[in-house]
Structure 1
Amino acid sequence: MRHDPGGLLFIALGLALVAAGFVWRGRVLRPLSVKRAQAAVIRERSRNLLRSADMAIAEARRRAARGEPAIVTVKDVTRVACQHYGYRFVEREEAAAALRQRYEAADCRVDCMTDAFS
Structure 2
Amino acid sequence: MRWNLDVVVGVLVGLVGTGLIVAGVVWKGRAVRPFAASRARSVAQREYARDLQRAADHVIATARRSAGDGEPAIVTVEAVVRVTRERYGYAVVERHHAAAALRRRFEHWRCAVDCVTDAFS
Q: Same fold by TM (over 0.5)?
A: yes
Question: What pairs with 1:54-73 in structure 2 (closer than 5 Å)?
Answer: 54-73=57-76
Question: What pairs with 1:43-62 in structure 2 (closer than 5 Å)?
Answer: 43-62=46-65
Using the alignment, how far apart are the partners of 1:89 and 1:19 within structure 2?
46
Aligned residue in 1 for 2:23: 24
Using the alignment, how far apart are the partners of 1:25 and 1:78 within structure 2?
40
Residue 94 of structure 1 pairs with residue 97 of structure 2: yes
* Range with greater deviation from structure 2 (83-92 or 20-29): 20-29
| Percent of aligned pairs with the same amino acid | 45
Per-residue deviation, 1:49: 1.0
Using the alignment, how far apart are the partners of 2:70 and 2:62 within structure 1?
16
SS at match of 1:71: strand
Using the alignment, how far apart are the partners of 1:27 and 1:91 within structure 2?
40
Letter in 1 for 2:47: E
Select 1:79's aligned residue among 82, 85, 91.
Answer: 82
Q: Please report the TM-score for the alignment, with normalisation by the length of structure 1.
A: 0.76
Using the alignment, how far apart are the partners of 1:19 and 1:56 within structure 2?
52
Using the alignment, how far apart are the partners of 2:65 and 2:47 within structure 1?
27
- Runs of 4 or more, structure 1, over 6 Å off, are none
Using the alignment, how far apart are the partners of 1:22 and 1:87 within structure 2?
36
In the alignment, structure 1 segments of 5+ residues that lack a partner are none
Q: Please report the TM-score for the alignment, with normalisation by the length of structure 2.
A: 0.74
Task: Please list the CA deviations of residues 71-100 of structure 1 after superposition, one character each: whole Å capped at 9, or x if unmatched.
Answer: 212122112222323333321221012112
Per-residue deviation, 1:13: 1.8
